[in-house]
Chain A
């Protein structure tokens, strides 16, 4: 510590208030006593001005009335709030609109009351409270050399008292135990860890699972007109549960006459006549990509505007998505219902590290 040899700072430290001469103190006015207090805190009131040096002027009365009016407004607002809270109809009723007044009226009366109170307090400060201009000393920067040096001394002395510097075995043992204690804090979080792998690669679809809509009705080829779409789910008992829907939801599309899908290699037989089925989960961030434009054959995701061209087998043609929507292989079973020919051949939804 080189500071220790520096000359003591010229800046004065705060003197603790010395013995107050009570005889003198008694003779002081209230203002002078308070000024003594501020002085002890390093605060100087350089300017102090009564707003209304002559009491009882018209201007003062006016200021006082303005402040009082604000507090009265606060009172009235609060009363109105309580009355409205008790009296106004508030419960939703489909055949009425009277409930729509409840929240706005409560909010406005509450605001009136709060703003009235706040404006009253601030007006009081601006109009009535004695104006002042105050300067407080700022003692920033380094402590005094004595303080710095002695603090270091105490710290170093403490280490010396423990003898830690000499006891290397103890040092290592202590370090080891601290590490272990750290592990105690972190390891129980292992309860959060779940092995992710398989769930990400499978959905609720498998060979022979029928397609159903949100009302559990099975889908036949005649159900959808050309240019129509239907959101479908695996027709299993839990096919509409949130967990299954989250990765199995599929958009079944019947193309318009003349629209032809150029299928990916190896997936030529995934569609059925003019029907195609794609995962509804966007390959970008997992929103349901379901804004289907039946004339252009484009499918838009509303979250980040990825656009997929169904006629190019759901290839992403605009926006941030990088991969086409996975295609579900479908056919029609003996009883005339749509069925899946198997699960998706790739993971649905957004990309992740282990995805090939």
Chain B
């Protein structure tokens, strides 16, 4: 801010251009304090906090490229005869939607690049949301007071997947048309109202002529509008509640340690937008995506082997592939086997996902407010549950491409189906146990280092002839030579060269740089009271 603005009370007119503009705005909007506090907002500096930003930036890129594509795309199912420059399809009957997508790819200069950036950005959008969600889950970032923001995140993921599927279907190519037919079959499978739902969405028996225009308006207006609103509230809540942060020296429940938005973090975050955009441009230039001219226009009589949806729908395709053929028939009615893996299963999965913060709060009876995150090892049950869910999801995802895997690795397709069925039941409990043991092991190691110090690599011979390794204690020791530091939820240095750098940019550390031999006093900085130390160690406060 120009100093002239703040001197305004004295009655002097600002002289610089920036000052005059600021003065103009402030006289009308009383904006000074809002602007200043926005510029002063502090962002915690941790790499894992940037994954949500990837999603946000991909969404902005999606809006930009999507608008460009909309200049040329015609969401019509009217049949036309292709007469463009791609000779391998010239003369083929196709819908205007497919025709205009071909035109974007072959007749619009740079159109193919835009299409490919758009599609890669869509894949990245959902992938980044998943990565971000995993970070929030495993560090306990969803706990009170952020439960609603977790719900908004689950909503964003759901709408992101729907938005992706709608966009993937728009070109009306052989691959996406096959996907739409499956979507129609899924709607049909709903008990009692299924046929009514399917006809309401498609306007007639599959395929009809309404579905592409309807998906288009959903894809360019309805769902992006909802996503935009959800993002606004999601980010608004982050600003209101401020970021969480990892425990460490100087970091408390009632502060945020980091860098201000202006100028430091703004430069990093703004630069990061261009990095994400650049990676997408590179992907779009180097890797061909969704080559619809190879798939051909949709024809219900045709299909290609190895038909899959985009990756974010892959887990549903996988569940559909490995679910057994259990059809229920009674009186004159039928319940399709399709309903279980495509409607019931994702319904349960997303409900559990959405309710997890509330389930955990109820199970642990933890009703207190948390702004400090937890290390995954300190909450073994949650971490193991997450690993279990991930392994379940991963088996489904792999099964969604099991025909490609079978073909490329010379495995029987039927064996792949059975591998998926068995792993789906066997792997999650294994993942749970393994993760649980891993967490306990890591915890134990942390406690050992706190008690005995860091291994120095120096071997000493005792008078008795016994050889021992010298340990460097991290802090004050009692009469037995055991460390007195409490575990505070922050990383414990485990190598000598980490001793000078425990936790990042810690206040106590930076204010007074200890010499390498002298260990910094982690415990007294972070855990001022026993109460707080317990909490940092991942155990909830006593409910009041």
Residues of A within 8 A of B324 (CB): 320
Which residue numbers of A lie inside 8 Å of B, CB to CB?
17, 20, 22, 25, 30, 33, 37-38, 40-41, 43, 45-47, 85, 90-94, 102-108, 110-122, 124-126, 129-141, 192-197, 199-200, 214, 231, 233, 242-243, 245-247, 249, 280-281, 284-288, 290-291, 300, 302-307, 316, 318-323, 349-356
Partner of B207, one of A129, A246, A305, A350: A246
Q: Which of A20, A129, A196, A233 counts the most chain B CB atoms within 10 A?
A: A196
Residues of B within 8 A of A281 (CB): 300
Contact A104 B267 (CB under 8 A): no
Residues of A within 8 A of B403 (CB): 302, 305
Contact A111 B36 (CB under 8 A): no
A118 touching B204 in the complex, CB below 8 Å, given contacts A22-B10, A91-B85, A107-B116: no
A41 touching B195 in the complex, CB below 8 Å, given contacts A103-B112, A125-B271, A303-B303: no
Partner of A291, one of B260, B285, B305: B305
- Is B278 in the interface zone, CB < 8 Å from A? yes
Q: Mark B320-335, 1 if CB is under 8 A from A, else 0.
A: 1111111100001111
Residues of A within 8 A of B107 (CB): 91
CA distance A254 to B10 in the complex (A): 98
Contact A124 B203 (CB under 8 A): no
CB-nearest residue of chain B relative to A142? B369
CB-nearest residue of chain A relative to B201? A192
Residues of B within 8 A of A114 (CB): 274-275, 277-278, 281
Contact A119 B87 (CB under 8 A): no
Contact B337 A194 (CB under 8 A): no
CB-nearest residue of chain A relative to B206? A246
Q: How far is the CB of A340 from chain B (nearest CB, A)?
A: 16
- Is B413 in the interface zone, CB < 8 Å from A? yes
Contact B325 A350 (CB under 8 A): no
Partner of A193, one of B200, B242, B281: B200
Contact A90 B109 (CB under 8 A): yes
A285 touching B205 in the complex, CB below 8 Å, given contacts A33-B6, A134-B260: no
User: Can you identify 6 A-B contacts, CB atoms within 8 angstroms?
Assistant: A104-B286, A118-B273, A121-B270, A285-B338, A351-B337, A353-B193
Among the 9-residue stretches B178-186, B219-227, B480-488, the one with 4 or more Cβ atoms under 8 Å from chain A is B178-186
Contact B267 A288 (CB under 8 A): no
Contact B337 A284 (CB under 8 A): yes
Residues of B within 8 A of A288 (CB): 300-303
CA distance A232 to B303 in the complex (A): 15
Residues of B within 8 A of A102 (CB): 112
Contact B325 A121 (CB under 8 A): no
- Is B254 in the interface zone, CB < 8 Å from A? yes
CA distance A302 to B42 in the complex (A): 53
Contact A92 B85 (CB under 8 A): yes
CA distance A52 to B309 in the complex (A): 53
Contact B40 A41 (CB under 8 A): yes
CB-nearest residue of chain A relative to B145? A140
Which residue numbers of B lie inside 8 Å of A, CB to CB?
1, 3, 6, 9-10, 33, 36-37, 40-42, 79, 85-88, 106-107, 109-110, 112-113, 116-117, 145, 178, 181-182, 184-186, 188-196, 198-201, 203-208, 241-242, 250, 253-260, 263-265, 267-268, 270-275, 277-279, 281-286, 298-307, 317, 320-327, 332-338, 341, 369, 371, 402-403, 413-414, 417, 505, 507, 510-511
Contact A305 B334 (CB under 8 A): no
Q: How far is the CB of B335 from chain A (nearest CB, A)?
A: 7
Contact A245 B413 (CB under 8 A): no
Contact B306 A37 (CB under 8 A): no
CA distance A287 to B107 in the complex (A): 32
CA distance A197 to B273 in the complex (A): 52
CB-nearest residue of chain A relative to B250? A135
CB-nearest residue of chain B relative to A114? B278
Contact B338 A318 (CB under 8 A): no
Residues of B within 8 A of A113 (CB): 278
Contact B274 A46 (CB under 8 A): no
Contact A22 B9 (CB under 8 A): yes
Q: How far is the CB of B6 from chain A (nearest CB, A)?
A: 7
Contact A352 B507 (CB under 8 A): no
Partner of A117, one of B106, B271, B305: B271
Residues of A within 8 A of B113 (CB): 103, 106-107, 110
Residues of B within 8 A of A304 (CB): 317, 320-321
Residues of A within 8 A of B33 (CB): 17
CA distance A126 to B264 in the complex (A): 8
CA distance A346 to B255 in the complex (A): 68
CB-nearest residue of chain A relative to B79? A242
Contact A197 B195 (CB under 8 A): yes
CB-nearest residue of chain A relative to B179? A303
Residues of B within 8 A of A355 (CB): 333-334
CB-nearest residue of chain B relative to A77? B278
Contact A194 B86 (CB under 8 A): no
Partner of B284, one of A20, A107, A193, A353: A107
CA distance A193 to B510 in the complex (A): 68
A47 touching B507 in the complex, CB below 8 Å, given contacts A197-B195, A249-B300, A302-B403: yes
Contact A120 B264 (CB under 8 A): no
Q: Which of A126, A197, A249, A286 counts the most chain B CB atoms within 10 A?
A: A286
CB-nearest residue of chain A relative to B267? A125
Partner of A107, one of B1, B282, B511: B282
Residues of B within 8 A of A302 (CB): 303-307, 403
Residues of B within 8 A of A320 (CB): 320-325, 337-338, 341
Contact B200 A106 (CB under 8 A): no
Contact B417 A305 (CB under 8 A): yes
Contact A353 B195 (CB under 8 A): yes
Residues of B within 8 A of A354 (CB): 195, 332-334
CB-nearest residue of chain B relative to A139? B254
Residues of B within 8 A of A199 (CB): 204-205
Contact A352 B254 (CB under 8 A): no
Residues of B within 8 A of A351 (CB): 188-189, 327, 334-338
Residues of B within 8 A of A305 (CB): 321, 402-403, 413-414, 417
CA distance A308 to B83 in the complex (A): 40
CB-nearest residue of chain B relative to A354? B195
A122 touching B272 in the complex, CB below 8 Å, given contacts A107-B281, A134-B258: yes
Contact A356 B272 (CB under 8 A): no
Partner of A111, one of B278, B321, B338: B278
Contact A110 B281 (CB under 8 A): yes
CA distance A323 to B336 in the complex (A): 10
CB-nearest residue of chain A relative to B293? A92
A242 touching B300 in the complex, CB below 8 Å, given contacts A122-B272, A132-B260, A135-B507: yes
